[in-house]
Amino acid sequence: MAEKRRLTSEDLYKLVFISDPQISPDGKQIAFVRSHIDEKSKEYRSNIYVVPTGGGEPRQFTSGPKSDNAPRWSPDGTKLAFVSDRGNGRQIYVMPLSGGEAMQVTKMRYGAGNPVWSPDGTKIAFSASIDLDDKPEDYEKP
């Protein structure tokens, strides 16, 4: 039996958390969130990965020093919508599965979350906090 020892902060930096698995519309891939604690900033960081449902190596879909969460497949399976704090607050982005730059699709003053694609893939519903006195035209389009 291995000798018992105290858990240290260095041990915490080695932990990796997998969450929010989402199966693609064709059932061939899974998008998921991989999170860890960044040792320098002492903050959680997360990126989105994609892996074939039949097994294989996960492919890193998003990268960078910020946190990307809540991956959601477009109905045709060619894009992922996700929430990221890479810009000004937590906003929703869309990126083609083939890669490239993520396109910011919300610019809400207090952030946005919980993206849900419309069945035809032309719209994304989301949740956001707003001021009750605000009008829709008070919010910029990205």
* Mean pLDDT in residue range 39-58: 92
For 70-104, what is each residue's pLDDT tens digit?
A: 999 999 999 999 999 998 789 999 999 998 899 99
pLDDT at 140: 58
Assess if CATH 2.120.10.30 describes domain 11-138.
Answer: yes
* Mean pLDDT in residue range 9-36: 93
Band (51; pLDDT cuts 50, 70, 90)? very high
Q: Where are the domains of the chain?
A: 11-138
* Mean pLDDT in residue range 17-42: 94
**Is pLDDT at 141 greater than 60 in this prediction?**
no
Give the percent of the chain with pLDDT over 90.
Answer: 63
Quickly list DSSP for the chain: -PPP----HHHHHH--EEEEEEE-TTSSEEEEEEEEE-TTT-SEEEEEEEEETT----EE---SSSBEEEEEE-TTSSEEEEEEEEESEEEEEEEETT--PPEE----TT-EEEEEE-TTSS-EEEEE---TT--GGGSPP-
This prediction's pTM = 0.87
